[in-house]
Each structure stands twice: as structure tokens, then as C-alpha cells.
Amino acid sequence: MANWNDHVDHVLIDEAELREIVSRLAAQIDSDYSGEDKNPILVGVLKGSVTFMTDLMRAMKCPAQIDFMRVSSYGNSTVASGNVNIILDLNRPNLPNEDIIVVEDIVDSGRTLKYLVSYLLNKGARSVRTVTLLDKPERREVDFTPEYIGKEIPNAFVIGYGLDYAEKYRTLPYVGVIRSDKI
């Protein structure tokens, strides 16, 4: 049986650190959305955010709904080209009353989240914030800063905890740097 752990050069964030990051982000969101009328919708960006989102939503105390969007960006597997295309949209009639928190696995150029924030605001959402597990600020190509950032990481291609390379490795329970000979 293939062992995906062998395709990892080194572990960047282990399971204990991931739990700490998720609890800190959940506490920050709880404190910002503590008002009576503040019941945000967590909108996960499929598929990479799934693991992070399911941990985050269980760590939060504030009542939240969940939903998902899916986008595709054209480019090869490790470099996004910057064109964002929505392939699964929200289907909600009452967006003007909603406070949305877009949940992302990693911010790289910043194009995906910058686009999604303006898209959802244009659709009429009352407020849109973003939470990302990982951020690679060195790679930024547009002016964008998420409100909630789990951890800044250096410019390396990471896999695991939902993040893939060519659809593989999402099931690994930690975030690791992929071996260069596997790309």
C-alpha cells in the first residue's frame, strides 16, 4: 500500500499546533460575533477548506450556519493563474441580512479571496470577512489581507489537512511540505 507520509519532505504544522491555531481563530471569531443578531454563515471554499472548516465550526461557540462555494482557477497544479471562476455558488434568498465569513485553506496570490469578497458584497451580503488557516504573504500579487490568519508560512508547496497536490494528500492529518520529486 502506498504511504503518503513518505511523500512529505517535512511536517510544517503538526496536529497539536493545528488544534491550537483553530482554537485561537475560533475564540477571535466568537468575540467579534458575540452580538445577539450576529449569526454568521461560514462559507467554505471547496475542497481544500473542508478539514479546517469542520474543526473550526466545532471549536466556535457562536451559532453559525455553514455553506460552501467552489471556484476553479486556471493554471497548473502548483501555480494559480489568477482567473477565478465560480463553479458552485451560494443559493440563498436572503443575503442582505447575512454576515459571511469565507473559510479558506491558504492564501497565495490573494486573487481567490479578493474576488470572492467583492462577489459576495456585490450579491448584497451585509458583511464579508475571511479566515484562512495558512497565509503565504511573500506570494501576494494583489492587495488583500484576511481578517483572521492561522499561520504565516514561507513560500513552499504544502499538502495535508485538506490541501492537495493533484487531488492527493488531503487526508493527511498534518500540514507538510511535499517532496520536490513528487511534483
Which residue ranges make up the site for ligand 5GP (CB under 6 A)? 48, 80, 104-112, 157-159, 163-165
| Angle at 85 (CA atoms; ends 82, 89), nearest 5 degrees | 140
Nearer of residues 33 and 113 to ligand 5GP, judged by Cβ: 113
Dihedral (C-alpha) 31, 120, 80, 153: value to the nearest 10 degrees?
A: -10
Dihedral (C-alpha) 14, 17, 22, 24: value to the nearest 10 degrees?
A: -170
Closest CA relative to residue 57, chosen from 49, 66, 68? 66
- Min. distance of Cβ 142 from ligand 5GP in angstroms? 9
Could you give the 3-state DSSP secondary structure of residue 38?
coil
Nearer of residues 98 and 135 to ligand 5GP, judged by Cβ: 135
Nearer of residues 33 and 174 to ligand 5GP, judged by Cβ: 174
**Is 108 among the catalytic positions?**
yes
- Min. distance of Cβ 23 from ligand 5GP in angstroms? 22
- Min. distance of Cβ 36 from ligand 5GP in angstroms? 33
User: CA 10, CA 131: separation in Å to the nearest integer?
Assistant: 25
- Min. distance of Cβ 38 from ligand 5GP in angstroms? 26
Catalytic pick from 9, 108, 135, 143?
A: 108
User: CA 33, CA 75: separation in Å to the nearest integer?
Assistant: 36
Nearer of residues 28 and 73 to ligand 5GP, judged by Cβ: 73
- Catalytic sites, residue numbers: 108
